[in-house]
Structure 1
Amino acid sequence: MRVIPKPEEPDEFGGPVGVAVIILLSHCVVYGLYLSIEASTSPFKSCDETWLSYASRARRGLAGAAPTATGFCLYAGFLAATALLSAFCPGATVRGRPLPSLKGRALTYNCNGPAVWVAFLSGLAALHLAGVLRLAVWMDHFGSVLTWSVIFGDGVAVLTYGYCRSRNLAERDSGRPLYDGFMGVTLNPRVGPLDLKMWSELRVPWILLFVITLSAASKQYETAGRCSPQLAFMVLAHFLYANACAKGDHCVPTTWDIFHEHWGWMLIFWNLCGVPLTYCAASRWLLAHAVEGQAPAYTAAVYALLLAAYYVFDTANAQKNEFRLRRAGVVVDRRAWHLPWAVLDDPRFLKTAGGGELLVDGWYARARKPHYAADVAQALSWGLICGFSDVTPHWYALFFVPMIVHRAWRDDARCAAKYGADWDAYKARVPYVLVPGVV
């Protein structure tokens, strides 16, 4: 069924021109970060450099990013393993929100994140210990894996758009293929028991990010006989993030990303390629550069920042999503995975005229987006642990902060349109967005 957007719906991201720029810049960022770390060279042309010299330097730097058979096996094998585990591991069945595109019917989701996470890590450890697949192999073939991720990200997006259009399944048709393909034309694509959007958003990026960082640590141990405190920090940071996505997947089916955002290039490319292959910049930089003279007190302070930010991030997300689920009568017992204060007993909330409920308890009595603030603090810590000799390891924070600010603005505009005067009352009750008393 094809759903034509209402004429008054505004374009996002600057319309067709804006999304074309985003697509181009995304590819430049992916390979620019690769060049700046792998080839220890700037991806930009210097003022006193000829174009011929620049092209030669870039060509030499990109030689390691050729798509090889080994790189394909690593990347495609990872996708296949996580897809099979996501499709068939046992988990809790959670009902999503009613979908207008399905005439009000709600889909059910197999939320098996903990089982997938434990099974994948067990398999990864077994392969490494048996000498079948060294953890360091991902670093040995990183450039090829990166290029294959670009090919898969672009290819899956194009194939998804073409398939939906050819089968008359497109749920968006503005008459502008590039814009529609970027934003997505299908909401809940599935292949048998596998929900492609849940898999691509929760399994692929965060597990692969952890694997790449673990590979960097393993490579450093192979070559230097030790793992630096800074690279150990990145292993911890990426483990915590992947672990949070695994244990909290039962909260995701009712979120905006699942019931509203279509599966297009924006989600596909960044989940299959952008997130895991660029968010690892700090890990790869630490493998290539020794951090000299960092005071132990400074290192300890960044560790403390990470752990404090993660606690707020984890418990705030749990409070918000468990509140939503339990008000809908959905209880998934994952107490073994919860941190203290993750679930609120008898939480306070603001009832809206339309029947909605806005949480005003726990962290959400103090700020409207405490989980965003904690996410920003984590992003900053990933760069801070590397020091300030190079901007490259700070890439994630430089990208993430503007993105999350834009997302907070989108959230506010959407909620203002949805709740009207009730949203104004909610903002008066909880006036701060990110940090109480600050902003």
Structure 2
Amino acid sequence: MNPSHYKAMSAENPFLGPPGAFFISIGVPSTIYALHFGCSETNGCPPNPTQIPQRVASALSDPEWWKGLWDTKATLMYLAWYAFCLVAWAMLPGSRVQGTMLRTGEKKLYKINAFSTFLLALCLTFCTIYLYGPHSFTFLHSKFVNFITASILVAFVESVVCYAASFRPGALLALGGNTGNFIYDFYIGRELNPFSFGTFDLKTFNELRPSLILWVLVDISMVCEQAVRRGGFANVTDSLWLVLLFQSVYVGDSLYYESAILTTMDITTDGGGFMLTVGILSLVPFAYSLQASYLAFTPVVLGPVRTIMILGFNFVGYWIFRGANAEKNDFRNGGNPKNLKFMTTESGSKLLTSGWWGCSRHPNYFGDLLMALAWSLPTGFSTPITYVYVLYFLVLLVHRQRRDDEACEKKSVVVLASSEFYMYGKDWHKYMQLVPYRIIPYVY
């Protein structure tokens, strides 16, 4: 059996197969634009429901509206940002970390320096603001829609190139992305690790550097916009500072523990297709920053009591998220400092059954959801739009959990090349009895 052309184990394709992949491929970029125009200073947040059909029809039929989505300067700036991240990856020092075993029996080496890139980007940003004032960094706010367009264009071009490159001899294909249907394989990702050479891997690079770091820079731009409007940083509202703090800590944590991403489904299972690329490059920085974007033109003053309550809520989420990930990473790296209980499967692999991982099968998702809610609470309750992220994240994590459980349940030992690709099979049912809750203990 040729491991580079190993077909998907199931004829059932997630995302409703090719039709679903087609509509999601169109729907994700459209949703990013819709969130921007549906929560703006000009249109309202949300716009008057009775005026939405007329406004949409008027905009789509207006050539000037379409032209307004594009800005050459913004596109060049986005490309320059992407190039900066590439240069920083190449030039900044970093350790080498092995990823999980591939079906070929190999383990890729990854260069770990995303946190250093983050610090460098923040240093350059703060120096710019200090030297030239807050108005010098409001361009991400003023050209927001143009940066969305640039990111979607880059995501589309990258996905096309990756799909075409996956037909070269020896390409290691993703288990679910080699169906033979162009639309579905383009969306899911035909090759597991496209443009992966030496210690560089395009998927991990995109997921951590140009996307997550840009998310924080967008938030900073929104703070600068409010500072310009309200007469300085001293007058920026506590709500916007909270959003910047929460999301910066979350991004910084992800970048500091960069190696933890190497065991996620995005890296180990999903191909490098449009699904991941547009989600990472476009959705993350320009939809996840919706709360900061809203607060830039709608100041919300929380006061000390509500600020402390929201801080505590976010801390609980982070405590669960970080504690669960720390337990998992220690265990996968051969450590067990808490003497956690675990079960050993017939294949020899081990599954935690105590600690955070005894509370649910995905406790880190639970922490993630609590933090997501804490990021929306500073916006108040005058609009539901700023809570769309929480609902989207809930659907995303539940879908990912179900995909993961289905894959684990179907797993069996498959011999590929010189390695064994272990899958849990009937042991997964024993594990589900020991850990019955999927994400939220005693709820789901």
Please indicate the TM-score interval, normalised by the length of the shorter structure. Answer: 0.7 to 0.9
Show the counterpart of 2:417: none
1:278 deviates by 0.7
- Asked whether 1:430 is paired with 2:430, we answer no
Q: Which amino acid is the alignment partner of residue 125 of structure 1?
A: F
- Asked whether 1:88 is paired with 2:64, we answer no
Among residues 389, 401, 404, which one is paired with 1:408 in the alignment?
A: 401
Q: Which amino acid is the alignment partner of residue 281 of structure 1?
A: L
1:257 deviates by 2.1
Q: Which amino acid is the alignment partner of residue 315 of structure 1?
A: G
Partner Cα separation in structure 2 for residue 244 and residue 227 of structure 1: 25
Show the counterpart of 2:334: 326
- Asked whether 1:255 is paired with 2:264, we answer yes
Q: Which amino acid is the alignment partner of residue 217 of structure 1?
A: V
- Asked whether 1:365 is paired with 2:355, we answer no
Q: Confirm or deny: 8 A CA contact 2:172 2:192 kept in the other structure.
A: no
* SS class of match (2:351): strand
TM-score by length of 2: 0.86
Deviations 1:249-279, CA, capped at 9 Å, x for gaps: 1222233321221100000111111111111
* SS class of match (1:9): coil
Partner Cα separation in structure 2 for residue 43 and residue 56 of structure 1: 17
Partner Cα separation in structure 2 for residue 6 and residue 60 of structure 1: 44
* SS class of match (1:377): helix
Q: Which amino acid is the alignment partner of residue 438 of structure 2?
A: V
Deviations 1:47-74, CA, capped at 9 Å, x for gaps: 57775x6433565995795322331233
Among residues 213, 230, 254, which one is paired with 1:245 in the alignment?
A: 254
Q: 1:140 to 1:42 in 2, by over 3 A?
A: closer
- Asked whether 1:311 is paired with 2:309, we answer no
Q: Confirm or deny: 8 A CA contact 1:113 1:245 kept in the other structure.
A: no
Q: Which runs of 5+ in 1 are unaligned?
A: 328-342
Q: Confirm or deny: 8 A CA contact 2:45 2:385 kept in the other structure.
A: no
* SS class of match (1:134): helix
Q: Confirm or deny: 8 A CA contact 1:19 1:182 kept in the other structure.
A: yes
TM-score by length of 1: 0.87
Partner Cα separation in structure 2 for residue 271 and residue 211 of structure 1: 15
Show the counterpart of 2:132: 131
Partner Cα separation in structure 1 for residue 271 and residue 264 of structure 2: 13
Show the counterpart of 1:151: 153
Show the counterpart of 2:275: 266
Identity %: 27
Q: 1:192 to 1:430 in 2, by over 3 A?
A: closer
1:366 deviates by 2.2
- Asked whether 1:278 is paired with 2:287, we answer yes
Q: Which amino acid is the alignment partner of residue 35 of structure 1?
A: F
- Asked whether 1:184 is paired with 2:189, we answer yes
1:34 deviates by 1.2
Partner Cα separation in structure 2 for residue 96 and residue 193 of structure 1: 11
More displaced stretch, 119-128 vs 213-222: 119-128
Deviations 1:279-302, CA, capped at 9 Å, x for gaps: 11111011121336x564333212
* SS class of match (2:166): helix
Show the counterpart of 1:69: 72
Q: Confirm or deny: 8 A CA contact 1:344 1:362 kept in the other structure.
A: no
Deviations 1:151-197, CA, capped at 9 Å, x for gaps: 11112111221233367847254221110000101212326643111
Q: Which has the higher contact order (CA 8 A, sep 6+)?
A: 2
Deviations 1:199-257, CA, capped at 9 Å, x for gaps: 11122221111110111011111221321111111101111111111111122223332
- Asked whether 1:115 is paired with 2:116, we answer yes
Q: 1:360 to 1:49 in 2, by over 3 A?
A: closer
Q: Which amino acid is the alignment partner of residue 360 of structure 1?
A: T
Among residues 4, 18, 24, which one is paired with 2:20 in the alignment?
A: 18
Partner Cα separation in structure 1 for residue 381 and residue 9 of structure 2: 48
Q: Which amino acid is the alignment partner of residue 3 of structure 1?
A: H
Show the counterpart of 1:216: 222
Q: Which amino acid is the alignment partner of residue 314 of structure 1?
A: R
1:22 deviates by 0.8
What is the total number of aligned residue pairs between the two structures? 420
Partner Cα separation in structure 1 for residue 305 and residue 269 of structure 2: 45
* SS class of match (1:21): helix
- Asked whether 1:174 is paired with 2:179, we answer yes
Q: Which runs of 5+ in 2 are unaligned?
A: 412-423
Q: Which amino acid is the alignment partner of residue 116 of structure 2?
A: A
